[in-house]
Structure 1
Amino acid sequence: MASQNVEKTRLRLQRRIEEGQYYEAHQQLRVVSQRYLKVGNYDAAIEILTAGAQSLLKADQGGSGGDLCLVLVEVYKTAKLAPDSASKSRLVELITMMPAEEPSRKRFINETIAWTSKFGEFPAGDPELHHFIGNLYANEDEVYEAEKHLILGTRESAEVLARLLYEWYKQDEAHTAPTYIARAVFGYLLVGNLREACRSLEVFVGQLMQENSTLVIQEVQSASADIRIFPSLPLLNFLSLLTLATQTGGAEVFRNLKSHYASQLKDIQDWDDAIEHIGEMYFGIQIRRPTNILDMMGSMFGAGGAPDARSQAPQITGSFDLD
């Protein structure tokens, strides 16, 4: 609960913002928060910064509000505050209030994830925050940014990502379907999340079948699984069999799979590093050259920050033969 001094200060600065004295209020909020920080009163600093940022953002002062948001995250780090429902929801509310075009929003989002990575239990950042941010970007049609967060999100993120990629795919030619869902399948496999790799593929294929009634499908049953084969989309079959192989197969199965689809795979060299790394992670096939997984995923996911990512095709091309 706020002390009387904190509440008085908050109300005084609130009035200044309401009077249009944005610069003065912003500077004083910074000064006051630093005073509390120096004496270790983190709760007061957090309360003052949160209230000030909210008021400035409501007043359409995105730059000043965004600056206080960044200071707030630094206070979180200084206080070594662990991510919990209260500390996260405070930041979620502020992110929601920031306009998409505000330059400081992306940095605030990145700093928020960095804080959860350092002081939370998830080295790649809090999954719930990743899911929220991924949805935020998805609703703004920022596919490149959305997928990077959804890959590291919650169980619900896989369906969101698959449907987002399917909407993106619909603007392209029919035979390019595998190049879109591969972004999710490879992404999830590379972070060790086989379950969501399968789930994203399932959702994408289900939507593909639902909206393409003339698509030829062959059902193949085996002792371990039932597989749908699409004669016109061999690389979609490759992805399905790859996810199955990671669950049931060995190194030889993986090699045979690559060999069977070699003629199609040679046309999409952007998949090479991902497939090699999957071979090492799931089948014990050592990579001959060192690979930086973050660089590889960054290359797969394209150039972030595109003004309208859905208008751009993935950086994967090639024609597909019937198989």
Structure 2
Amino acid sequence: MPSQNIEKTRARMQLRIQEGQYYEAHQQLRVVSQRYVKAKNYDAAIDILTSGANALFKAGQSASAGDICLLILDVYRTASKKPDQDSKARIIELLSQLPSTEPIRKRFITESIAWTSKFGIYPAGDPFLHHYIGTLLVSEHDYYEAERHLLLGTPASASTLATALFNWYQHDSPHTAALYISRAVFPYLLLGNLRDAHTALKIFTEKLVEKAEKTGLVVQTIEDVKYGTVKVFPSLPGVNFLTLLVLSAAPGGREVWQFLEGHYQTVLREAPWWKEALEQIGESYFDVKIRRQTNILDMMGSLFGGPGPQQQAIGGPGGHDLD
């Protein structure tokens, strides 16, 4: 259809919204967009729907606008549209306007990731979109939902995740630090992302050190020939365990693995939900064979469901030091 018709349709829709005829505008958007889709003029359908969604958002009609957002994804899928820079930018623009209180937002997020997974090159969804969603959720203090996206995000996501986990940890008891940073370290290692496991742990421990004087946390510095300068927390053996685990993760390190298992028995006994993840990590990084194979996604799900704020944690005062 000629572009002039699109402009006329957009103008009619805008007028109805300005006059408060939200339902009529909503229905017009549905009918007209389907007409463009049947004509395989997908760009026109996306254009008119995007304009309509933005106008409805501006008018405070977030529920109707959210429904139009889902229609845009329908057109994306029908057109087999790839998640390029423009198509992702449109999703981000729309998502930025959806209030956190709008029920349809969660579905829009889920379907947006699913679209990038199906038509993009990343089976788990586009990292840039994951990073944006995760960062948005962190800004709303929804750390639990944010971590799933940040773990599958960009290299910048590791820093955001570590900071979010540290802020989450601030609402819990001082000795629970290992529980929170393990929510980054274990999934990153399970995903084969040793780089971001290093980054997240480094940032989290740096924040522990920054707050040490205020919290009374004892910090020791160890100079090691192999690992360089390592920060140690006598009252946080779980954090020390994770530090050694990440620093020493390399094929053929079975002796290091045996040391970790022996030296940190108390830590591991007090965190039984770590067992499956550690078995998989032991096989992947330390050549320790396990008897059964575990679905990594299921395992990550159990980790995400682990203790959060105000729940019992590991490694209280008097635990083992890293040495």
Q: 1:271 aligns with which of 269, 274, 282?
A: 274
8 Å CA contact 2:124, 2:152 repeated in 1: yes
Counterparts in 2 of 1:238 and 1:2: CA distance versus 1, 3 Å? farther
**Range with bigger deviation, 276-285 or 5-14:** 276-285
8 Å CA contact 1:246, 1:282 repeated in 2: yes
1:49 paired with 2:52, answer no
Deviation at 1:190, TM superposition (A): 1.6
* Rounded Cα–Cα distance in structure 1 between residues aligned with 2:243 and 2:225: 14
State the TM-score, normalized to the length of structure 2: 0.92
* Rounded Cα–Cα distance in structure 2 between residues aligned with 1:204 and 1:319: 17
* Rounded Cα–Cα distance in structure 2 between residues aligned with 1:76 and 1:273: 39
8 Å CA contact 2:238, 2:315 repeated in 1: no
Matches within 5 A, 1:112-123: 112-123=112-123
* Rounded Cα–Cα distance in structure 1 between residues aligned with 2:162 and 2:208: 11
1:171 paired with 2:171, answer yes
Aligned residues: CA RMSD: 2.0
- Give the equivalent residue in structure 2 for 1:200: 200
Deviation at 1:250, TM superposition (A): 2.1
Show CA shifts across 1:206-243 (max 9, x none): 11101112423131312344322222111111101111
**Range with bigger deviation, 245-254 or 182-191:** 245-254
Structure 2: unaligned runs, 5 residues or longer = none
- Give the equivalent residue in structure 2 for 1:250: 253
- Give the equivalent residue in structure 2 for 1:85: 85
8 Å CA contact 1:182, 1:239 repeated in 2: yes
Give the count of matched residue pairs: 316
Q: 1:301 aligns with which of 301, 304, 316?
A: 304
* Rounded Cα–Cα distance in structure 1 between residues aligned with 2:254 and 2:49: 55
Show CA shifts across 1:97-149 (max 9, x none): 01110000011011111111111121111111111111100000001111111
- Give the equivalent residue in structure 1 for 2:319: 322
Structure 1: unaligned runs, 5 residues or longer = 304-308
8 Å CA contact 2:219, 2:231 repeated in 1: no
Q: 2:240 aligns with which of 227, 237, 242?
A: 237
Counterparts in 2 of 1:283 and 1:319: CA distance versus 1, 3 Å? closer
Deviation at 1:158, TM superposition (A): 1.0
* Rounded Cα–Cα distance in structure 2 between residues aligned with 1:49 and 1:286: 54
* Rounded Cα–Cα distance in structure 1 between residues aligned with 2:206 and 2:123: 33
Deviation at 1:255, TM superposition (A): 3.0
State the TM-score, normalized to the length of structure 1: 0.92
**Range with bigger deviation, 143-152 or 286-295:** 286-295
Deviation at 1:281, TM superposition (A): 2.4
- Give the equivalent residue in structure 1 for 2:144: 144
- Give the equivalent residue in structure 2 for 1:22: 22
